[in-house]
Structure 1
Amino acid sequence: MIHLKPNDFFHSSNSFVTTELRTPQEDFPEHYHSFEEIIIVAKGNGLHAVNDVPTCLSKNYVCFVAQQDRHLFENVNDLFLSNVLFIRDKLEPSFSLTQFLPCTLSGSVDWFIEDEAAHRVHVIIEHLNTESHVNTLASAAMTELLFQQLVVELWRGRIVDTSSLSLSDKVTQTIMYVNKNYKEKLSIERVAEHIKVPIRTLTREFKRATGMSFNHYLHFVRAQHAMQLLLNSESSITKIAFEVGYSDSNYFSTKFKQVMKKAPRQVRPLC
């Protein structure tokens, strides 16, 4: 497995924040690194697997990757993203990351930000990309300030209030709704009524955002959670099928294999 080290990305031993802009991001094999990372998706879609569990990337998706995480990118489609790399131990003690980012030991955590927040984040990243690659005292100071601003903006830009969302944000709300309610009997018609968007519009925009149909994405999310249970619990395949929203374990196994390209028993043969 590839091990990415600070010397490969940070311009000096005194540097603790840098950027790697991927426009576009290509498929990249499984790797880990001796620093932490924030991934912000600007557009496109693709799969991001963290510790063997895949997630569908789409616009305004944000992901925190801890040092112990293994991750990869595959099946990317016009995927534009920003990687913000940082070394937590070198940050000034006056700024507490724990207020705005997950603890390192908690592993990978993801969320979505609103369109307006995404625009502000884009401007910050442009400035951060410039300053973080200049080896001067002034740029180091500016890099720290911009990184602090970025982290706070990502935190407060999380989608919480859904009362006045744009169409783009409503599509993101749909993705979040499926991610949360995947165990239920969901349909595009039900969700379209819930978020008050015409079915044809939601069908088109959902496919554009995720690269998948609504039903394909629903099975993907269920398979994602099933993979976590297969890797981290002792539950039987039948029990896992029920826990992720299926009433038939054989149907679950079929859909799981379609999504993951392997059967549940290939993930954990003894279950």
Structure 2
Amino acid sequence: MLKVLIIDDEVWMRRGIRSMLESTIYEISDIQEAGNADEALQKIQKSEFDILFVDIRMPGLDGLSFIEAATTLLPMAGFIIVSGYNDFEYAKRAIHLHVVDYLLKPVVKKDLLDAFHKAVRERKQDFVQPNDADQTLMVNAMKEKLVVDLIEGRNDVTRNLSRSLQTDLEKCRFACVSFRVQNSESIMNGKGISEITLIYYIMSNFMSDLFGDVLQGIVFQHQGVLHAILYNNNLQEDVMATQINDYVERVLQWVKRLKFFHVRCSISSIHEQPTGLGLCYQEAMHALTYSIFMPNALQTVYQSSMEQEGHVGYSLELEKDLYNQVVLSSLSGITETISQMMEKAFATVRTSKSLRQLLDMCWLLGERWLIEAAEHTPLPISYRDFQTNPMKYDDLEHMRRELVKHFYTVSLAINKKTNTDGKNAVSEMIEYIQNHYNENLSLTQLAAQLHMNAAYLSDLFKEITGVGFVTYVTSIRMNKACDYLKHREIKINQIAALVGFEDERYFSTVFKKTFGMTPREYRNQ
């Protein structure tokens, strides 16, 4: 018999969750309610609960802070967040707290019951076999490695994979669906690759939960993309195709409800036998690459025409024009010429191969021009950071912006304008930092705004200012903090927020490291 606690400051929400739980397959002995976190803490000190539904924003202590406190009293309990806020920072913190699920209001009954049932199952597993979770992770990691080995051509792992999946791969049908996070440019500029990795982590958990007796699968990351190899040894091909479409639709609907990120996906054909598994993967990757040409399409189904032979359209006149614009360091001229080159390239051939051809040619051009200029000037070799993998781009517009940035950085080196332009860029950075020191500052984001390579700009900033970017930002924040500390009416936690720190303890640590005393000691001296 289960005991449930619902914590939400809205009475109608608590009543709604209570009503939905009446349809659960599990027996509940008691459902209690709390209007805020303090009231809930009092209840869990008097009684033990199995599953807790928690709102995030409530008067007083917020929901995530409550969970941190409650886990010490209820180490075996399952926590489900029900919130009207889709801020990804909340989701990240919830993952670190091992929250079972994160539901957005208005809550769909099916989603709530699915989350509740999942919490019950996980609680039983933790109670009966505390090491099962670790063992499952190890088994899944082994399966993922075997799948990657097979798609990369190692056919000798077939027997081990069959044993791991407990099925005869020779009798199986396979398909692959692949997902790529969209808006990767803004995510990378804002929070870095770890944010995308975390999104894939959340997605893989959900996608794995959808597998069952009818459609089985393995979810894994490879080449910066999240894949699901789907398989079955009993279904007819048409029935399996229907199951695959249903699976993809459920994933896309789930992503749509979450709202804080977007994806595009591809679906392979259905193939048989172990060799078919590799073909599925290749087809899904070709289709996902081809989807760059269709930015508004949520899913792309593989077609053989996506791999047709042919070469991109190319013009030596445009190449000469681009070189002239690079020599002139004309950002507008480079932008216009790149747009013309892309239009010419894809006028007749639009395939995944043509995308790579154009990127390879642009990489070679940049390398050639930099090498030719090397005897005259030391170079910030930016072309090594240039991505020739089409999968790294959201769409053609994203690719165009990166090509412009690439050739503009090359132009700075070729024209020996690095020092002048670099000093201007650093001056702009310093002015921006002084005006925005209380915001989340990122060198990658500033480099993108200045159309410069981040690594090169970092070295240039240190060369001109004498300190690194992070050290400089910290010094500005600490000096501003000293000014604020002179005003005793401003609390220290408020000062921390005013100078860009979310955590008061971390602010105090940095302050003491900088000045040899805590903010409070500084204020009282």
Query: Normalising TM by the smaller chain, what interval?
Result: 0.3 to 0.5
For the pair shown, the structure with the greater C-alpha radius of gyration is 2
TM-score of the aligned structures, taking structure 1 as reference length: 0.37
Structure number having the greater helix percentage: 2
Structure number having the greater strand percentage: 1
